[in-house]
A and B are shown apart, each in its own frame.
Chain A
Amino acid sequence: MTTHRKTLAELEMRGDFIRRHIGPNSQQIADMLAALKLDTLEDIIPQAVPEAILNQDALALTETISERAVITHLRKMRERNRVFISMIGMGYYGTIMPAVIKRNVLENPAWYTAYTPYQAEISQGRLEALLNFQQMVTDLTAMEIANASMLDEATAAAEAMTMCKRVGKHPGTEFFVDQDTHPQTLAVLQTRARYMGYEVIIGDPQQDMSRGISQTQPFAVLLSYPGSSGQVNDLQAVIAQAHDCKALVIVASDLLALVELKPPGEMGADIVIGNSQRFGVPMGYGGPHAAFFATRKAFVRAMPGRVIGVSADQHGQPALRMVLQTREQHIRREKATSNICTSQVLLAVIAGFYTVYHGPKGLRLIASRVHRLMQLFVAGLAQHGIEISTPVFFDTVTFRLPGKARRIAARAREARINLRVIDADHLSIAFDETTTRTELSVLWQVFIGREAAALDSDALDSTLAECLPEALRRDRPLLTHPVFERYHCETEMMRYMRSLARRDIALDRAMIPLGSCTMKLNAATELQALSYREFSAMHPFAPLDQAQGYLQLFDELEEMLCDLSGFAAFTLQPNAGSQGEYTGLLVIRQYHASRGEMHRDICLIPASAHGTNPASAVMAGLRVVVVACDEQGNVDVADLQAKAGQHSERLAALMITYPSTHGVFEAAIVDICKIIHAHGGQVYLDGANMNALVGIAKPTTIGADVMHINLHKTFAIPHGGGGPGMGPVGVAGHLAPFLPDHPVVDGVNPAANEQGTIGTVSAAPWGSASILTVSWAYIAMMGAHGLRRATMVAILAANYTAHRLRDHYPVLYTGKNNMVAHECIIDLKGIRAATGITVDDVAKRLIDYGFHAPTMSFPVADTLMIEPTESENKRELDRFCDAMIAIRQEIQAVEQGIADQHNNLLKNAPHTHNLLLQEDWDKPYTKQQAFYPMRYIQDDKYWPPVGRIDNVQGDKHLFCSCVPVEEYA
């Protein structure tokens, strides 16, 4: 027998990562193909995908590189970033992530690979962690209710503005903004306001309010506390005056400052927003971090984002869940309160744990230290005649330095410290948790040279007079819930985080077959760069010459995405898919406006679209016209033709998902795009299903002008339990000039010209920049060959799953040759009609089998949508299919009258340990059937911590803070 002698290139294993990422090995792929009666993997493409859209040319992507080479490359990139100490402030601060949190949460797949906690019974761990975050926010702001995070501070402000318009019922369209507000927040507010038809008025609230804001009649007011300059003003009188004019009041604030300052809730604020980044989350050159949003309980139903609340399970035990989901875009569509779906769960979880770890005493020490150091610094300089223009401050101060601001900032840079230059005469400095007396001495030296040596911090400290007046100091107790007292030693903290993690099902435990969510592998190597200080510790407004590594990353990633999609340019600014949709639609509006066609305001959206689409269209100031779908779930081309014709004059865009939300490669897509173009419209492709296209078809061949790509689906950024996400937008050449720019950082859109961009959509110039390293590493390691193979295996896996389940559940919607795309929908309508068993019952029963349910009732009621992705091995696919088939047999027992219609394995699911411990087992089935229905479960049983949760009670009696301890007794 002769053995094949391997070539040197083979031995080098450059493409080894491809087989690590793609779950099934060649034998398993062959077996799955055989089941589908196909010969080779390549056969999948002509079988499933319409020929008209296939790539004709090879991709220009570089060859695949190995895991080790990727690390080397990222290290080189990071060396081109120079990390200076940041004292720029403006909403981003140095912070120390406790190592116990870094190791057990940030670097733990149990936390970062989980999905949004829709299936509450298997998400109790992160729901509790998020509830801690909400409790922390309500305590610090003294508001009644907080949500589980927002994308960033600037978008939180924009959401607060639109919420005020909704709940205030004020007829005005003017929105007043404190001039001492972070410029990026202001820019995002202006972009949002423009397309909503509001006018942003900037002024000094202390003066303008006392003069009588009634001259302008704003529907709401945004105040900054502390201001961007560092100044802290008493807001009480201003808020009262605003309320007298029937305007609602938003306060942009800072959580660490609120440890020391009188909280805005006590001053009458209606909404309080801000960034929680400095609670243990690195700056990451702009993100990701969790913004917070708190308001009055009376406004809760108008509040954007997700809210965690306390309900009870079927046994009466307290259990957590997301409340008020009916307000979300996936149900309310164009009437939704906001288009937000992703929040920043992983980062909110970290900020919550940071608070748990430090507790009230620890936070007070940190806040007092930061405040004290700044007071010392100012006192030292005061002795040398240097004045400040912000006499009342917490940790940020603006100095008056006539003609010298730039020179001093340059000197600070020589000492590797970045300051914020406001103008030639003013400079501001922000201290943070990482500041020590060493930096104090260095900065003194920067300001006053050799004379600094005479300044003694301890001596100054003994004579210091507090700059915060008594009326502005916090006297309300801080963080009184026991969870903030319990876990201050590291052993306890480690165990607390583990005990929460083990309550959840994430990808570290089993496949998560959520349709439309692409829960693929998030490989360890891809995540490595997140822990590099040169990526994580950079302020988003650091001088660009210090961020050359990041700029290289952006360039290379944009080039990769352009190659894969066919687009001419990308913006990396939108930090979620929903933000990407909004951005893309604004680009289309601005394009029409540049051609004198601002009147084009109709957006066609198929009935099958994801609910975010119409919600985004409304935010972009568009009118939604729904296009019908036929019985196969495809767009009804005749209806589209008719509606495009009827609205030809005003047609702005079509928003369409491809492959369709029904998981099918629609054959008519090219014609559909042509129809829209013929009527002067632009085609917006929703990239949610890009995982079925990468390497085999380009959106531009299909006919798209704009598309957002969910990097957290297709390009391996972990879901983080419901965020972070990233939604870069790709555009054809004619739209590139309109992509977003940024008020603080120049050159964010190099194609910008005199026609003007859409403005700014996120706080940071390149969104959540640090996680872009994940997608870059994924694409680099997969290369053109690996990506194409991944797409084919994803389609194969979906078709194999459909094939295995078809005899047990009807598979809805298929394309040519009876093939599905990368996901399949199984229909449970018949089962419901015959037995009363619902998709919910099947989802909860899957928990007993150790699985996360597929997507429920989207895009069609009473169905389950399954997306296996390329990363799941055939063994895992079979295990899931076996479980689904076993459940079908349990349903059959009900159909045949063998099992009771109400008291059966499905209706009573999930089965908890409490049931097992009941003395009298009164169920009409065995414990074995309930708890161990299949052999594999004996090896690793997942025990749901709570039984089926009572959704009705949770939504009727909203309770969104930590559970009082006695409830658990």
Chain B
Amino acid sequence: MSETKYTEEHEWLRVNAAGEVVIGITHYAQEQLGDVVFVELPAIGASIAVGSEVAVVESVKAASDIKAPLSGEVTAVNDKLHDAPELANADPEGEGWFFAMTAQDIAALDEYMDEAAYQQLINAS
């Protein structure tokens, strides 16, 4: 497992053993959203461009778009979220992952924050 990276949109990214980038929302994000009731995930095989809206996470208070942090192709989605969206609250950075993708340019990952920088960001907000 590589080091976890974080985006300003409160998503986390991590490279798995297969070299795919796994993506989900951070603990802070789920706290802000409150109880997650629904997650709309992209189709496996969809090619996505960085910055495009690929998923939607809904709580009783808000609905937020998840933006693709990298360009590439979706290789897996977390089907468990369909019946148990609460996983996004209970274990956002583990069992509550959203989807995995191959990255066209894996080096782009380095431009995102490391944990310390992300901590600083949320402490400031």
A contact residues vs B (CB 8 Å cutoff): 301, 324-327, 331-332, 335, 951-952, 955-956
Contact = CB atoms under 8 A, between A and B. Distances in A.
B4 interface: no
Interface of A is mostly: helix
B28 to A, nearest CB: 16
A952 B40 contact: no
A955 B63 contact: no
A955 B37 contact: yes
9 contacts: A301-B40, A324-B58, A325-B60, A326-B62, A327-B63, A331-B62, A335-B65, A955-B37, A955-B38
A331 B60 CA distance: 11
Interface centre among B59, B60, B61 (most CB of A within 10 A): B60
B37 A956 contact: yes
A327 to B, nearest CB: 6
A650 B85 CA distance: 42
B35 interface: yes
For this complex, into which size category does the number of interface residues on chain B fall?
10 to 19
B62 A956 contact: no
Contact of A326 (B58, B65, B85): B58
B19 to A, nearest CB: 29
A955 B62 contact: no
B29 to A, nearest CB: 15
B37 A331 contact: no
B61 A326 contact: yes
Interface in B52-96: 58-63, 65, 85-86
A642 B37 CA distance: 40
A301 B85 CA distance: 15
Given A335-B65, A956-B85, A951 B38 contact: no
A952 B38 contact: no
Contacts of A331: 61-63
Interface centre among A324, A327, A335, A952 (most CB of B within 10 A): A952
Contacts of B37: 952, 955-956
B59 to A, nearest CB: 7
A302 to B, nearest CB: 10
B79 to A, nearest CB: 15
B10 to A, nearest CB: 17
Contacts of A327: 58, 63
Contact of A951 (B40, B60, B85): B60
A335 B58 CA distance: 13
Contacts of A955: 37-38, 58, 60
B60 A332 contact: no
A327 B58 CA distance: 9
A686 B37 CA distance: 33
B60 A326 contact: yes
Nearest to B85: A956
In the A-B complex, list the 8 residue pairs whose CB atoms are closest, starting with the nearest: A955-B37, A951-B60, A326-B63, A952-B35, A956-B37, A326-B58, A955-B60, A326-B62
Contacts of A956: 37-38, 85-86
A332 B60 CA distance: 13
A324 B58 CA distance: 9
A916 B68 CA distance: 52
A855 to B, nearest CB: 15
Interface centre among A326, A335, A951, A955 (most CB of B within 10 A): A326
Nearest to B53: A335
A941 B59 CA distance: 34
A254 B86 CA distance: 41
Contacts of B59: 326
Given A301-B38, A301-B40, A952 B60 contact: yes
B86 to A, nearest CB: 8
Contacts of A326: 58-63
Interface centre among A301, A325, A955 (most CB of B within 10 A): A955
Interface string B11-39: 00000000000000000000000010110
A326 B58 CA distance: 7
A318 to B, nearest CB: 18
Contacts of B63: 326-327, 331-332
A946 B85 CA distance: 26
A955 B59 CA distance: 8
A955 B63 CA distance: 12
A756 to B, nearest CB: 36
Contacts of A324: 58
A327 B86 CA distance: 19
B88 to A, nearest CB: 12
A325 B35 CA distance: 14
Nearest to A302: B40
Contacts of B62: 326, 331
Contacts of A951: 35, 60
A952 B58 CA distance: 11
Given A327-B58, A327-B63, A955-B38, 16 more contacts: A301-B58, A324-B58, A325-B60, A326-B59, A326-B60, A326-B61, A326-B62, A326-B63, A335-B65, A951-B35, A951-B60, A952-B60, A955-B37, A955-B58, A955-B60, A956-B85
A43 B20 CA distance: 69
